[in-house]
Structure formats: C-alpha cells, structure tokens
Amino acid sequence: MCAAHKRSAAAGIALAVAVLAGCAPDPSPAAQQAAPSPSTADPAAAVAWMNGFCGAVKDFIEGNNKMPSASGETVEAIKKSTSDQLGHYAAILSKTVDGLGALPAAPVPAGDAAKREFLAKYTSARDKTVKAKAGLDGAGKNDTAAQGRAVDGLIAAQKDTHSALDPVAAVLGAPELKTAAATAERCRP
C-alpha cells in the first residue's frame, strides 16, 4: 500500500474513532465562515418584523379604546348594546389574530415564541367573544341570564388579552429584537 493511502486510511480511522467517541473534528475555516451565526439577525428584517408584531397589538389597543359604551334602559336595549360590544371586540380580535398570523418567521427564535404566545391569547379571546355573542344573540328576548353569561365571556376574553398588550416586553430576552423595537415605528407608544 502506498504511503498516501496509509495516511488517508489512518485519518479515516481517527475520524471514525472521534465520531464514535462523540467528538467531531473542528470545521474548516471556510465552513465556519459559510455558516451564519444563529443569533445574528438582519437588523432591517428585525425592525420590519417588530413593526408587524407591535403593529398588530397596537391596532388591537386602538380598536379596544373605541369600544362602544354599554347603554340601555330595557332588557332588550341592554342586550343589543352588549351584543354590539361583543361584535366590536370580536372584530378587533379577529383583525389582531390575522395580523399576528400573517407575520413571517421571526429573525430569531424568541420572536416566534412571542408570536405563538400572543397568537394563542388573542385567538382564545376571540373564540370566547364569538361564543358569548352567539349565546346572547340566540337567547330569548327577556333572558337576563344570557346577558350575565355574555358579560362573563367578555371579561374572560379581556383577561386573555390583558396579558398580551406589551409586545416589546415579550422579546426583551432577544437583544436583536429589543434593539429593533427601539427603532420600529409601530413599537413606539
């Protein structure tokens, strides 16, 4: 066997021993340069993603601030007023769910985790609101218990959303997104 084959055979055996031992050789300098760091995010992409994330939540907050007031002096008028509130809340929640769902993959994993958490909370709130409205709208004209169930459904939905009102706080553990939030227009108060 020639000397070159003996060296490559010895190198192959050494590599096999290292792999079986749970070790791997260091990648070549070219391979190290080609592999991007998983924590390095394109700053422009991070700002764009944060604009979308903050924007979806900001739109919800603005819509929530325009919630119609409860009013009415008769059971029927109060029922209609509550139904209007639930309809408004369901609409802004649906818009928020759609906005969060339309976000592309985040530039770092912490963004995707925050998106999943917020999306779950807003989806839950929307579903509770839609159910409460359907129950109220399907109730009899003088069914005051339906009114109470509808209000309970609205309060439960609001509890879900109240823990998802600060998108910046949700990404503070990701330096790339924290930095992006500082310059993202929709993340400003």
User: Model confidence over 144-162: pLDDT tens digits?
Assistant: 899 999 999 999 999 999 9
63 has pLDDT over 50: yes
For residue 29 the two structure tokens come to 């300098």
H runs (alpha helix) in the chain = 3-20, 29-34, 43-64, 75-101, 109-137, 144-162, 175-183
Give me the pLDDT at residue 189, please.
86
Mean pLDDT rounded to a whole number for the chain? 83
Cα 181 to its chain centre, rounded Å, is 15
108 has pLDDT over 50: yes
Instruction: Give the mean model confidence (pLDDT) for residues 77-97.
Output: 96
pLDDT > 90: percent of the chain: 70
Q: Which residues contact 162 (CB under 8 A, 6 or more apart)?
A: none
Name the pTM for this structure. 0.77
Q: Which residues contact 6 (CB under 8 A, 6 or more apart)?
A: none
Q: What is the pLDDT of residues 156-179, one digit of tens each?
A: 999 999 999 999 999 999 999 999
67 has pLDDT over 50: yes
Q: pLDDT-derived band of residue 72, with 50, 70 and 90 as boundaries?
A: confident
For residue 183 the two structure tokens come to 């310059």
Instruction: Give the mean model confidence (pLDDT) for residues 108-117.
Output: 97
Instruction: Give the mean model confidence (pLDDT) for residues 22-26.
Output: 37
